[in-house]
Amino acid sequence: MHGRNASNGEAIALRGISKAFGSVTVLKATELAVHKSEFLTLLGPSGSGKTTLLNLISGAITPSSGEILLAGRDITHMPPRDRGIGMVFQNYALMPHMTVFENVAYPLRARREPSEAIRRKVLDALDRVGLKGFDDRKPRQLSGGQQQRVGIARCIVYSPAIIMMDEPLGALDKNLREQMQTEIKRLHQELGTTIIYVTHDQEEALNMSDRICLMKTGEIAQLGTPDELYFRPNSRFVAEFIGESNLLCGKSVAANSVAIDGAGAVLVPSSERGLGSDVLIMVRPEKMHIFASDADTPAGHNVLRGVVEAISFIGGMTRITVKTAHGVSVTAKIISGPACTRPELGSAAKLSWSPTESVVLNG
């Protein structure tokens, strides 16, 4: 398994990679392996280190410590152009005086490929990104979305094994962004390329990725599938960054029970915790059910009582917030139906959820 095959299916591996600018460490020692053909997204708030990580992999900056392996080979000190990693930028970085054809041909000309091969590959790349027949245009004659397609064509034209995209859809409006997300996913499936994608948009990350690497102040907060980050966040930060969450503070009173501050004990999945330790229970709003105060709740469910303080209709779903007797606002998201089927503003209500839907986080 080792020797020639030392990469073990890893396209990129970071081993103890860190980066400091002067005395400020912006990326703490990081371990990360990106699998071959994987779509991995670096997600995180502004300043969390996503671009720094990308720049380290591309070779635009050198690490303060650690090593970077490309398919098992140490490239830590290799110049960027020799790494063969394709880049797609938010601002497209097209050459304005060149036609679309020449922009896309550029990396092939730099590699001195024969002109017939260049023509074939450029037209194929333009076809793949839906720009057949646009080869004679100049970038300024294209919309933002079309310019980014040229940026993508220029990247896929020389078949790099790894493509990195830094907020590629950041300059586009919402509808176009969603359409381009679908197209980038399709291209990923067609080409089987490893993609490392940077965004600070959690919906984009959930929609596109095989795995998400969520960054927080220069560290990986959690690395996992979209499902894992959404349903099994490992911390309050992850629970709050991905999707909406209800957080209830309490103390562990048994392996499967937490006493919520001011509201009695609720059941949670069993796990080993120090009794009396501070914990947070996270429940996604769509796992919360709402009932009139005199209605029966499902057997075995946890129940909180309160008063409906806000109702907002968000299309297919309706968000109902209940202020509980212990003064905490808890939100349930239910499938929208006629107004008569939901509690009225100001009325007493019960919220219930299955103990299996409680995620226990360290307090």
Ligand X SMILES: Nc1ncnc2c1ncn2[C@@H]1O[C@H](COP(=O)(O)OP(=O)(O)OP(=O)(O)O)[C@@H](O)[C@H]1O
Q: Are 241 and 214 in contact (CB under 8 A)?
A: yes
Among 20, 26, 29, 259, binds ligand X (CB under 6 A): 26
CA distances to 23, 81, 280, 285 from 358, in Å: 42, 49, 10, 11
What's the angle, vertex CA 131, arms to CA 128 and CA 132, rounded to 5? 85
Rounded distance, CA 188 to CA 194, Å?
8
Among 23, 46, 116, 314, binds ligand X (CB under 6 A): 46
Rounded distance, CA 114 to CA 282, Å?
59
Nearer to ligand X, 26 or 249 (CB): 26
Binding to ligand X, residues 197-226 (CB under 6 A): 200
Both structure tokens of 321: 């917030």
Among 11, 34, 44, 290, binds ligand X (CB under 6 A): 44
Q: Are 270 and 256 in contact (CB under 8 A)?
A: yes
Among 47, 130, 269, 298, binds ligand X (CB under 6 A): 47
Nearer to ligand X, 56 or 351 (CB): 56
Among 30, 41, 48, 194, binds ligand X (CB under 6 A): 48
- Looking at 45-53, 279-287, 331-339, 350-358, which segment touches ligand X (CB under 6 A)? 45-53
Nearer to ligand X, 26 or 191 (CB): 26
Both structure tokens of 346: 């100001």
Contact between 50 and ligand X per CB under 6 A: yes
Radius of gyration of the CA atoms of the chain, in A: 25
Nearer to ligand X, 29 or 253 (CB): 29
Contact between 51 and ligand X per CB under 6 A: yes
Contact between 23 and ligand X per CB under 6 A: no
Number of residues that bind ligand X (CB under 6 A): 11
Strand order through the sheet with 289-292: 289-292, 348-353, 302-314, 317-324, 329-335
Rounded distance, CA 228 to CA 24, Å?
32
Contact between 49 and ligand X per CB under 6 A: yes
Nearer to ligand X, 21 or 313 (CB): 21
Within a 10 A sphere around the Cβ of 134, how many other Cβ atoms?
19
Nearer to ligand X, 91 or 182 (CB): 91
The DSSP code sequence of 210-277 is SEEEEEETTEEEEEE-HHHHHHS-SSHHHHHHSS--EEEEEEEEETTEEEETTTEEEE-------TT-
Quote the least distance from Cβ 217 to ligand X, whole Å: 8
- Looking at 4-12, 31-39, 47-55, 226-234, which segment touches ligand X (CB under 6 A)? 47-55
Among 18, 52, 202, 209, binds ligand X (CB under 6 A): 52
- Looking at 42-50, 77-85, 180-188, 337-345, which segment touches ligand X (CB under 6 A)? 42-50
Buried b (16+ CB within 10 A) or exposed e, 192-210: ebbbbbbbbbbebbbebbb
- Looking at 39-47, 279-287, 298-306, 311-319, which segment touches ligand X (CB under 6 A)? 39-47
Nearer to ligand X, 89 or 231 (CB): 89
Residues that bind ligand X (CB under 6 A): 21, 26, 44, 46-52, 200
